[in-house]
């Protein structure tokens, strides 16, 4: 098994729906366990505790005072909504899944969860700086999901500090989902190090039944990552079985 556990960063619907759908479908196809992670952001709770903090109702446009208790209730409600969404999506297939609610900084909690995972799934838009920090600190793969889901171009983020031997199995597993293979954005400032990392990865991949090319692109900063995420690509095609269903091979 090339991918054993997938962690998906769960956000309130509809913003996080594509990431949930993608993570569940990939987990099913690869026979992996899916873990949904909802983070109660401590920064929001700290903000709610400030005496001048206000929120504006979306429908009424009325400003009202924020307080910690109200924010905690709101976060619990969002977590319950996210859990129901994951249960609905995961319930469509025979899939091992669980849901965690933690409190802390989003980055720190994702780092802790990622230490036990082969792949972390998160949405691509608006998360570039966090992805750079996360990608540079975990030994696994971060899979970026466009808002339209996995039938559209997606990319895997890896750090050159993570040994290719650790990343070859999950990258090979992900490559088997698409005819075109996978694009890997490698976080690395030094071009020689990136070239050496890629050569070692390409040497290892044939051992894991890789399908399609795995292309490595070096990334050095958040602005470059934003451009690469937004760059038009040929849509990835899920591998189709003869009976019309998706499968791995």
Q: Does a structural domain hold residue 217?
A: yes
Whole-angstrom Cα distance, residue 224 to residue 78? Answer: 33
Q: pLDDT digit string (tens) for 98-157?
A: 999 999 888 888 888 888 888 988 876 656 677 777 777 777 888 877 666 555 445 688
Domain that holds residue 153: 5-230
**Long-range Cβ pairs for the range 200-207 (8 Å, 24+):** 200/164, 200/165, 201/164, 201/167, 201/168, 201/171, 204/164, 204/165, 204/168, 205/168, 205/171, 205/172, 205/175, 207/168
DSSP state of 234: P
**Number of domains making up the chain:** 1
Q: Does a structural domain hold residue 146?
A: yes
Q: pLDDT digit string (tens) for 172-183?
A: 888 888 766 678
Q: What is the CATH number of the domain that holds 47?
A: 3.40.50.12370
| Interior angle at CA 140, CA 110 and CA 135, nearest 5 | 60
Q: Does a structural domain hold residue 248?
A: no
């Amino acid at each position: 098994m090339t991918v054993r556990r997938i962690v998906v960063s769960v956000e309130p619907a509809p913003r996080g729906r594509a990431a949930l759908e993608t993570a569940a479908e990939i987990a099913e196809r690869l026979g992996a366990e899916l873990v949904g992670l909802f983070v109660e952001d401590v920064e929001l709770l700290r903000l709610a505790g400030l005496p001048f903090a206000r929120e504006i109702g979306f429908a009424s446009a009325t400003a009202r005072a924020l307080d910690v208790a109200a924010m905690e209730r709101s976060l619990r409600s969002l977590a319950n909504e996210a859990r129901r969404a994951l249960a609905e999506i995961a319930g469509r297939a025979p899939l091992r899944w669980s849901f965690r609610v933690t409190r802390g900084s989003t980055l720190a909690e994702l780092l802790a969860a990622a230490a036990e995972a082969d792949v972390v799934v998160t949405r691509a838009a608006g998360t570039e700086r966090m992805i750079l920090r996360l990608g540079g600190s975990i030994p696994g793969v971060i899979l970026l999901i466009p808002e339209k889901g996995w039938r559209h171009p997606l990319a895997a983020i890896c750090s050159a500090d993570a040994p290719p031997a650790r990343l070859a199995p999950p990258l090979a597993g992900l490559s088997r989902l698409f005819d075109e293979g996978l694009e890997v954005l490698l976080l690395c400032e030094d071009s020689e190090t990136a070239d050496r990392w890629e050569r070692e990865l390409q040497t290892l991949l044939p051992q894991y039944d890789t399908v399609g090319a795995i292309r490595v692109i070096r990334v050095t900063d958040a602005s470059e990552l934003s451009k690469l995420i937004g760059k038009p690509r040929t849509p990835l095609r899920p591998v189709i079985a003869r009976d019309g269903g998706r499968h791995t091979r």
